[in-house]
Homo-oligomer: A and B are copies of this chain.
Amino acid sequence: MPTPLVLDTQAQDLLFREARTANTYTDEPVSDETVQAVYDLIKYAPTAFNLQSMRVVLVRSDDARERLVSHLVDSNQDKTRNAPLVAILAADLEFHEELPRVFPVFPELKDAVFADDEIRDRAARSNATLQLGYFIMGLRAAGLAAGPMVGFDGEAIDKEFFGDGKHSVIAVVNIGKPGENAWFPRLPRLDYDEVFTTV
């Protein structure tokens, strides 16, 4: 039976089936050019009202890396210490300042909807999380493994790396080529019938 998928098998494997969350990495560096190519691909993926709330800090200095590691849970510290590149992904809680430019078709949106702190906060986090998913796919598209983590002291990271009260970290992502024993055995996925119902 022909597959309903149009995406070629090699791309399916690269992005989904063979890609894995890595726990160790080789020493091969990850350049700014590579990260930029990843962003230039994934920036087109959709967000609500095109609001694009994801912001990323690339941790490149030894000093910044040690400061970040100190805010991670113990079991995540070595992974981040040894990855060639580490990215802090955050939600920009004041993304609405850019809305008149990125969503010019409805200029009232900024004040009509997103003046409300709770609505804005929820939209900032959920859309940055969507973009985290795209970012993971984009890194895989560059032949890299991503190791996204949420085991950290978020308030401490916000203060240490942003300090403006306007950003909230949603994930720390280790990035690089997978090293020796990079992954655990794959864990079970839910069956189609456990996830999908029809009405």
Contacts and interface: CB of A to CB of B under 8 A. Distances in A.
Interface of A: 3-8, 10-12, 14-17, 19, 21, 31-46, 48, 50, 52, 54-61, 64, 98, 101-105, 125-126, 129-134, 136-137, 140-143, 146, 148, 150, 161, 170, 184, 186-190, 192, 194-199
A52 B133 contact: no
Nearest to A127: B129
Contacts of A61: 199
A105 B187 CA distance: 9
14 contacts: A4-B34, A5-B41, A7-B11, A7-B141, A17-B41, A19-B44, A35-B196, A36-B196, A43-B195, A52-B189, A56-B196, A64-B199, A102-B190, A126-B129
B5 A198 contact: no
B189 A48 contact: no
Contacts of A102: 187-190
Nearest to A37: B4
Contact of A15 (B7, B19, B125): B7
Given A4-B142, A102-B189, 7 more contacts: A4-B38, A5-B38, A8-B10, A11-B141, A45-B136, A45-B137, A98-B194
